[in-house]
Chains A and B, each alone.
Chain A
Amino acid sequence: MASNSTFTSPALAFELVAKCSTTRARASILTLPHGTVNLPIFMPVATQASLKGLTPQQLEDTGCKLCLNNTYHLGLKPGQEVLDAVGGAHKLQGWSRNLLTDSGGFQMVSLLKLANITEEGVRFLSPHDGSPMLLTPEHSMSLQNSIGSDIMMQLDDVLVTTSPDKARMREAMERSVRWLDRCIAAHKNPDRQNLFCIIQGGLDLEMRRECCREMLARETPGIAIGGLSGGEAKDDFCKVVACCTELLPDLKPRYVMGIGYPEDLVVSTALGADMFDCVWPTRTARFGNAITKHGVLNMKKEVYAADFGPIEDGCGCPCCRPVDEEGSIGITRAFVHHNAAKETVAAHMLTLHNVWYQLNLMREAREAIIADRYPVFVREFFGNLYADPSNYPSWAVDALKGVGVDLLET
């Protein structure tokens, strides 16, 4: 069902609020079973039903309305039986907001050697005891139904985009379409869980277009662009995203899987994508790195030992906001430096900061889209990140030029 600006399906409503008059950026409201989510959005990854040391309350306080769990990990620990007994992943982790789960297929291929993909599913050896196991579309759906995620992902045949084997790439794309059909048939809770399709096809734009057409015909409530962030050139990545968003309907959420550097988010938003996820902001926090609008700072460096400013000036996260403001913790770079790689609290504080940074970047992007000043926002963003425009990454300059923004224009 769709009006001019709203699409509804049994477990989801999508309302398009604004479109940038220059780029393809969109602002929208996605309503899911566990509440409303403003798009575009960055989704932090709580791989094993926990966001790396943050309590669900701390995560909620960053404004996060939708985070990820990984099906593969939850299938191993705590396992499907426990998930069923506990009543799903929301109850397991005390998270009352929305969850998105991947299909488990990506981890099979990326984490496990000897994963072998057949028409039936992904064959792999159990990391526990080495016994042969099989992840099928049906099993992935069953696991994700037990998890109870608000958005589930289809099992897809993932191949690194840089694979030169065209025939194998076509097979993977076509198989992903067939597996979507099996996922739809096996999905037990379409009234309260949304199943998103995943567009495959590597870097071959024609194959991507073909996949878009096939996937769209199956009318899932949301659409993901998959197989990216696997080492392809950024130019190629942008071309794929742009090529897909051109074909996608206005009134469905578009999720680009596995990307998360701030530049990627800002450019992909300009190319018309709405949702992103990545482990990088939380992983890099554990390595002592803080994301700021002027770039990534390594807090372990001696220059921060006696730096008594906040992690980032002007940041509104609980660590950084001015000490006299409500909810401020009053963390200094010096204290983070003091404990980086020594006490877990340093990792927790940087995780809090980095998650806030990513969510806030998308909040500001959204405000800019609604005010129809997204191109200005994009220029400011790159201006902050690079002191000298000649250092702007050419992939970003080119991709943005393709949607009407000239970063180098003076």
Chain B
Amino acid sequence: MTVDTREFGSAAMSFEILRAALGDGAAARLGRLAFAGRRPIDTPNFIGITSRGAIPHITPDNVARHLNVGGAYMALEDFIERPQQYSTRTPPIYEIPPTAKHQTRLHSFTAMPPSVTTVLGARRLPAVASPMGNTKSSVSVFTSTGFQALTTAEYLAAAQSLQPDIAVPPADLTHSPITPNSKRALRMAERTDEWLEEWFSELQDSPTPVTTFAPVLPIPYPIQWEYLSRLAEDYLPTAQLAGLALYDPDLLPDLASFVPALLPLPRLSLSPPSTPHHILNQIALGIDLLTIPFINTVSDAGLALAFTFPPPTTPPNNPLPLALDLTAPRFATSLAPLTPHCPCGACTTHHAAYIHHLLAAREMLGWTLLQAHNHGVMAAFFAGVRATLAQQDGAAAFARARGEFARAYEAGFPLGMGERPCF
């Protein structure tokens, strides 16, 4: 029995670890994350990423019909723009009434199907780096009308008003590929620590609870150890803390060593994996829920994801491509599905020739169908991961299949030739 085999939960959320990491430390595990009224999410899994409240190119009815996603990430910065002529208006999303079907403001405004779990963050995934930087009490966000300061108080008020299933409190992040120097990194930890303290103390007297996944910063453990210990010592026993949102999954081994009390918490990764190989790495580190921006990106480029997990049993002579460029002439008359036996909504109704035609004609439906396919491939991939982990010797089977996957597929995505369709 290891330390992370306990069940963790509150009235609104439960996280059950079905099979914990073997041995000590952080490793892949099987679980089930469930929110009242939402479809439970078997983990490891992924959630969709929205843009302005919508999974790109997929109307909410098609999210329910074709997209096998249990959750959706939403960025507050997508909803709080201040149009020049109406700069004093209250963002409409704060005012929309919930309905019987859509019982939270966030669901109601975006018409996201009620079965889908929502995650609210301040910034989009990935976020645009702000030239203004954060202040003592605000993060700089990028709205459709430009950069603006979002105070930590407004963000908390938004979380309380919108009632996402999971809220990720503000973190002092640079959103830059450059590693912050140690002075900046220390300030990131201190500010995030202060902001979280404020967050929880405000929430203490509030009638509207917010399920909080605390940010874990993308800086070395020794710089944020005080903050992370406080999570375990102050907010875990009081059940204020419901999960972790990691901006760098590589910190998990350190967390396992130094703050094992945090291990039973569900772990959401907000670190964008660039390929499925990176996804497997995050899973191996013990991430339960991933956010994968490349799904939307490859769809826009006209690519159809083409990998499975575990990989094909007979190893290919040459590594297989991770995705197919549907603009290639060989698909012009192909009546086959995008990938063999694909159960997605696009492949069961259509064939490669149609998607090829739509891309050539720059029709918007091409994007829609590729999104359905690519989310479907990803859902099947995670189902394969879970089935492997559920085997008798799950950890070893997963490690073996991961090695085979690395050999079976190319390291990166091909360059998609798809052009932006006409609006």
Contact = CB atoms under 8 A, between A and B. Distances in A.
Interface of A: 48-58, 73, 77-78, 82, 85-86, 91-94, 286, 302, 305-306, 308, 318, 323-324, 327-332, 334-335, 338-339, 341-345, 347-349, 352
Contacts of B361: 48-50, 73, 77
A52 B364 CA distance: 6
Given A327-B61, A334-B109, A338-B79, 19 more contacts: A49-B363, A50-B364, A50-B366, A54-B365, A57-B65, A58-B62, A73-B361, A82-B353, A82-B357, A86-B335, A302-B83, A308-B92, A308-B95, A324-B101, A330-B60, A330-B111, A332-B111, A338-B92, A344-B56
B108 A94 contact: no
Given A55-B368, A78-B332, A302-B85, A331 B353 contact: no
B372 to A, nearest CB: 8
Interface string B362-376: 011111110000000
Contacts of B109: 332, 334-335, 338
Given A85-B333, A92-B353, A335 B368 contact: no
Contacts of B144: 342
B100 interface: yes
A333 to B, nearest CB: 10
Interface string B337-367: 0000000010001100110111011011111
A92 B357 contact: yes
Contact of B61 (A58, A85, A332): A58
Interface residues of B, number: 52
Contacts of B102: 323, 330
A397 B85 CA distance: 41
A343 B56 CA distance: 7
- Which 5 pairs across A and B sit closest by C-beta, in order of nearness? A53-B364, A306-B92, A85-B333, A48-B361, A323-B101
B101 A78 contact: no
B9 to A, nearest CB: 29
Contacts of A328: 101
Contact of B99 (A54, A92, A323, A348): A323
Contacts of A306: 89-90, 92, 95-96
A82 B331 CA distance: 10
A349 B86 contact: no
Contact of A339 (B52, B89, B356, B367): B52
A342 B52 contact: yes
Interface string B211-227: 00000000000000000
B59 interface: yes
B349 A57 contact: yes
A259 B90 CA distance: 42
Contacts of A54: 365
A347 to B, nearest CB: 7
Contacts of B386: none
Nearest to B332: A82
B103 to A, nearest CB: 11
Contacts of A338: 52-53, 79, 92, 109
A78 B360 contact: yes
Interface string B58-79: 1111100100000000000001
A291 to B, nearest CB: 18
Given A94-B349, A344-B57, A349-B59, A86 B423 contact: no
A154 B350 CA distance: 30
B423 A286 contact: yes
A335 B364 contact: no
A335 B110 contact: yes
Given A82-B333, A330-B99, A344-B367, A318 B61 contact: yes
Contact of B57 (A49, A50, A332, A345): A345
Q: Which of A50, A53, A86, A345 has the most CB of B within 10 A?
A: A345
21 contacts: A49-B363, A50-B363, A52-B363, A58-B62, A82-B357, A86-B333, A86-B353, A302-B83, A323-B101, A324-B101, A329-B60, A330-B60, A335-B53, A338-B79, A339-B53, A341-B423, A343-B52, A345-B54, A345-B57, A345-B60, A348-B368
Contacts of B57: 53, 344-345, 348
Contacts of B14: none
Contacts of B319: none
B93 to A, nearest CB: 8
B27 to A, nearest CB: 39
B209 interface: no
A305 B92 contact: yes
B51 interface: yes
A347 B357 CA distance: 21
Contacts of A334: 92, 96, 109
Nearest to A325: B101
A68 to B, nearest CB: 15
B412 interface: no
A285 to B, nearest CB: 11
A62 B69 CA distance: 25
B171 to A, nearest CB: 26
